[in-house]
A and B are shown apart, each in its own frame.
Chain A
Amino acid sequence: MLRPTSARTAVALLAAGAVLSGLTACGSDDGDSGGSGGALEVWTRSADAPAETYQKVFDAFTEETGIEIDYKPVVEFDTQIQGRAASRDLPDVFINDSGSLGTYQSQGWLTPVDRDSVTGGEDISDENWATTQGLDGDYYGIPFSRQAFVTVVRKDWRENLGLPVPETWEDLSALADAFATQDPDGNGQDDTFGMVVPGTTERGYLAWWASSYIWQGGGDFVTEGDDGTYESAFDSPGTVAAVEWIKEQFCTPGHVQPNALTSTTLESRQFNNGEAGIYLTGPYNLAAYDDQPGQDTYEVIPTPPGPEGTTMLAEGENIYLGAGSDKTDAQLKLAEFLISPEAQEIAMAADEASEPVVRLPVNSTVDAGQVRNDPRWELVQEQYDNDSRAFPSAINFTPIRQAVAEGLNALMADCGSDVEAGVAGISEDIDAELADQDLLP
């Protein structure tokens, strides 16, 4: 039955199979194909616009040192890097939220940094260095950029309706109501909303957005004990007051955009599109807002104080040196370049319309006010210096933020929900998570 031709075909097929298996075997063994001779692989969590700015910084680095950089901006950063970690092949350097430090460090992803040996490290303040300390007190990253969140408001809408700049939570709520009901853009249609809220549980976005209001209301997430232990501080009258206020926004028609509960930040473009007029957000969006809805149409307002103050979420990016990299010299060189005044200024992208990736410089010799000469950024700087708070970065805060977002999302989805019970429930979840991390006293 078996004719020579079909035998040959069979052998050819088998050979093809063998080649394929060889290839895949190579693929899995040769994970660190970057090798010691190759380019330095760098990841940032960026969409296209900030990636352009990063590329400029890295080009300047290559020009100065001759070290090639293989730069990858990754939007789905958290999931993608997880995959790379699973194959024990992290990028050599990655830049991401300072709040992720505890998460990364608890999994052994980061190479510790000897603070004193970092050239230019003395130009970074102790407070900024402190955000890169792990639970053991060692430094696991190098600060790159800092920022405080701010509130942006459609100035033209506000003036059309003859309303003042909001100075309290009640004012803010009333402004949202006016934007929703009084046709602020004057087009005769009921097509505008008050606030933009990225309220999905994905990446814990809702907790991110709500944190400033929770602190302004007098609430908090966790407290650190003297002996390095942590416990939930969520269940307090302050948190309840803040969550009540947030819920009032969600449950009054028009105060927040309609699909808020399932929107990520990328999907929350109602401020850009002229559909909503208030947004508590990071200052990195200002460049995009200058373009749309337009520089003259909106304003950055001083934070309207809640019952307990004007605290805003502070965030920032750190430079992380991936564990298992064989390019330790180049890693450190890149980090040192990134905190130099030259790189920080390029990354601030002051003279162009591109998006800044250094929002507030960490290098104290850079005078941000002079570089930018923009009163809105001065407001950001003031907020950061005087009244801002960051999530604890030493512990693995990601699951806690996730738990808070999930709990809040459920409370907001049901306008008949019992806020006190909900807040108590979230607090229990936080404690359970801390217990998992062996951090409860």
Chain B
Amino acid sequence: MTAPVTERPAAAPARPPGVRRRPFNWRRALTPWLFLAPGLLLALYFKFIPMIQGIRLSLHKVQPFLGDQWVGLDNYRTVLEDDRFREAFRHTLALGIGQTLGAIVVGFLLALLLEGQAKSLWIVRTAVFLPVITAIAVVGEIWRLLYLPTGDGFVNTLLGLVGIGPQPFLDSPDSALWSVMAVGVWIGAPYNMVIILAGLAGVERSLYEAAAVDGVSLLQRLRYITLPALRPALTIVLTLAAIRGLRIFTEVYVLTGGGPAGRTEVWMTRVFSLGFERNDIGVASAASMLLLAVTLVLTIAVRLLSRRADT
């Protein structure tokens, strides 16, 4: 069960024009590889070997002490035919899309609010960024407390102030997925905010000035100047969010464990429960491999799309 690898931009070797061809220089050719070696070795041991093991396991009925049995693609068939996996996939998609959009909108609003040079803004930005650097497991436990479904839970106390009765949040099949999504947005938005802030800093000021001379409204300014200028930043945010969204695990595991009634079960919690609660490592590995494949396809698709949009 390896986590999907995030892609790494390939270095494009280019010879400056006008340089004459020289005899092949071994030292020169080897040097970059020497520098890459530690990283590659780490990747080999902690990513690639486990990944190959994962592929091997996914084709076996795994029982270390009795000898693994070759079952071919049976494990994959089990995953694809399993209703619970389909359900989990739907939840994963819903969470992924909801959290991505939510985090981008909130991140964008935060960025617009907090753009600027003032000292006070710097402090607020730091405070807003805190959820990103806090361990997700900790965030989950804290939100479990905040979401306490009784009248004296923190969120319910706030709701009580405006006259709304206690909500069950994580404990009702109807609201659990939304509650998890809200936590995801809370975690993801500040990260997006930082990337969008960087994008905002690069927007040509003269465009704003020209627009002001032309007398455009605030909305028009956003629509025709800010958003187009932010496209590269949004592409990055979208790619990262798509990958992160698919392999969501910790938040869900800590907040609900996939319950109630399996309403928040996502792909990785299903994998975890099959692998470690039902001891079915083979099927769990097959499901992980499928997730890896989907992630790869999605990453490549986003890159192709964004490249086409750029040209």
> Which of B35, B172, B259, B260 is A10 in contact with, Cβ under 8 Å?
B35
Knowing A17-B37, A262-B171, A402-B277, say if A6 contacts B66 (CB, 8 Å).
no
Does B31 contact A6, Cβ atoms closer than 8 Å? Answer: yes
Bound form: Cα–Cα A86–B171 in Å:
35
The segment from B38-46, B195-203, B214-222 found at the interface with A is B38-46
A138 at the interface (CB under 8 A from B): no
A residues in contact with B261, CB < 8 Å? 261, 409-410, 412-414
Give the most central of A6, A107, A259: most B CB within 10 Å. A259
> Which of B31, B37, B62, B171 is A259 in contact with, Cβ under 8 Å?
B171
- Nearest B residue to A76, CB-CB: B276
Does B276 contact A79, Cβ atoms closer than 8 Å? Answer: yes
> Which of A11, A107, A200, A204 is B259 in contact with, Cβ under 8 Å?
A200
A78 at the interface (CB under 8 A from B): yes
- Nearest B residue to A7, CB-CB: B27
Does A108 contact B66, Cβ atoms closer than 8 Å? Answer: yes
Instruction: Digitize A241-274: 1 where CB-to-B-CB distance is under 8 Å, 0 elsewhere.
Output: 0000000000000000011111010000000000
Does B278 contact A17, Cβ atoms closer than 8 Å? Answer: no
A residues in contact with B258, CB < 8 Å? 201
Instruction: Digitize B156-199: 1 where CB-to-A-CB distance is under 8 Å, 0 elsewhere.
Output: 00000000000010111100000000000000000000000000
Bound form: Cα–Cα A15–B126 in Å:
40
Bound form: Cα–Cα A203–B279 in Å:
12
A46 at the interface (CB under 8 A from B): no
> Which of A2, A85, A103, A414 is B65 in contact with, Cβ under 8 Å?
A85
B18 at the interface (CB under 8 A from A): no
The A387-419 residues at the B interface (CB cut-off 8 A) are 398-399, 402, 406, 409-410, 412-414
> Which of B31, B35, B150 is A258 in contact with, Cβ under 8 Å?
B150
> Which of A109, A262, A399 is B256 in contact with, Cβ under 8 Å?
A262
Instruction: Digitize B248-261: 1 where CB-to-A-CB distance is under 8 Å, 0 elsewhere.
Output: 00000001111111
B residues in contact with A11, CB < 8 Å? 34
Knowing A262-B260, A413-B173, say if A203 contacts B35 (CB, 8 Å).
no
Knowing A10-B31, A259-B170, say if A109 contacts B38 (CB, 8 Å).
no
B148 at the interface (CB under 8 A from A): yes
Does B263 contact A191, Cβ atoms closer than 8 Å? Answer: no
A residues in contact with B66, CB < 8 Å? 107-108
Bound form: Cα–Cα A20–B63 in Å:
30
A324 at the interface (CB under 8 A from B): yes
**Closest 3 pairs between A and B when the two form their complex, measured CB to CB:** A108-B65, A413-B261, A10-B34
A-B contact pairs, 23 of them (CB 8 A): A2-B27, A13-B37, A14-B37, A17-B37, A17-B38, A17-B41, A21-B44, A79-B276, A82-B275, A82-B279, A82-B281, A86-B62, A88-B64, A88-B65, A190-B151, A201-B257, A259-B148, A260-B171, A262-B260, A264-B257, A398-B278, A409-B262, A414-B261
Extra pairs beyond A85-B65, A86-B62 (6, CB < 8 Å): A107-B63, A258-B168, A259-B170, A261-B171, A323-B65, A414-B173
